[in-house]
Amino acid sequence: MPPSSKLPENSARGKTRSIFERITQQGAIDLANEQEENIYLFVPNLIGYLRIVFAALAVYCMKNHPKVCAVLYCISAILDVADGMAARAFNQTSKLGGVLDMVTDRCSTTCLMVFLSSAYPDWFNVFQFLIALDFSSHFIHMYASLVTGATSHKLIQSEVSKILWLYYNNRITLFIFCAGNEIFFVALYLVYTSKLPTLGISPEIVHAVVPALVKEQISAALLDGVSAYVAGMTLAHIVAIVSFPICFTKQIINFVQFWKASKTLVGVDLSERANNRQKKQ
């Protein structure tokens, strides 16, 4: 069993206790076996299982059926919103559901980025880094929340991080960044796999809208190259361009989440070491 993470009694930052001090692992398993309340069948958890099915089907279709994959992937993501609404409506929030959502999100996004890393080999290392950052930041944040006794990893105080507080405590903000992040990767996937109709922007239109001052600063070959690229753009290209800033900001949030959780665990370690020294005196 993990060591106690009780903070000193004179701590100015609260006197929370670790969840591990309230119940042992064997005690938790005994309660689960008794099944006084079947949390497995909570409505939001049932939706969570359905999310896994859609995500698995999306991964299965990823190589050969891009449009079907994109639809299934988006349905799985939309159900993430639905299970949260169900949890609040039926008063059926649970740690199982919270972790299930996070694991489903991490696994489905990772599968998509693994595909993208092979589709865009020049960006292979970038996708590897994003996968590592996504997993590590959420794992360490979840663990830090548990050892400090938080009832949910989304309960962030503004004193801890204003960025994370704004991210987790506003459902609209949380939805925008989570959705925008996934939409960007799905758009990149469709750019590579789907032969969507172009937007019909001719090279002549591009030449006409580019200011003369800009034309003077770039070569004719570069302008022709840009014009040809724009002429071949599809709706997926536009979605990727629009959602990129959201996705980029989401990676910054992931980094902040990793850093703050790391500092939290360092604080817990210092508290435990101080308690151990007091016990030895």
Helix, strand, coil percentages (3-state) for the chain, rounded to 5, are 75, 0, 25
Our answer to whether residue 269 is catalytic in this structure is no
Q: Is 104 exposed, middle or buried (CB count within 10 Å of its CB: 0-12, 13-18, 19+)?
A: buried
φ, ψ for residue 35, nearest 5 deg:
55, 45
- Among 24, 257, 52, which residue's Cα sits nearest to residue 161? 257
φ, ψ for residue 166, nearest 5 deg:
-65, -35
Active-site hit among 80, 83, 101, 105: 105
Q: How far apart are the C-alpha atoms of 73 and 76, rounded to whole Å?
A: 5
CA 223, 228, 231, 235 torsion: positive or negative? negative
Q: How far apart are the C-alpha atoms of 58 and 67, rounded to whole Å?
A: 10
Which residues does the annotation mark as catalytic? 105
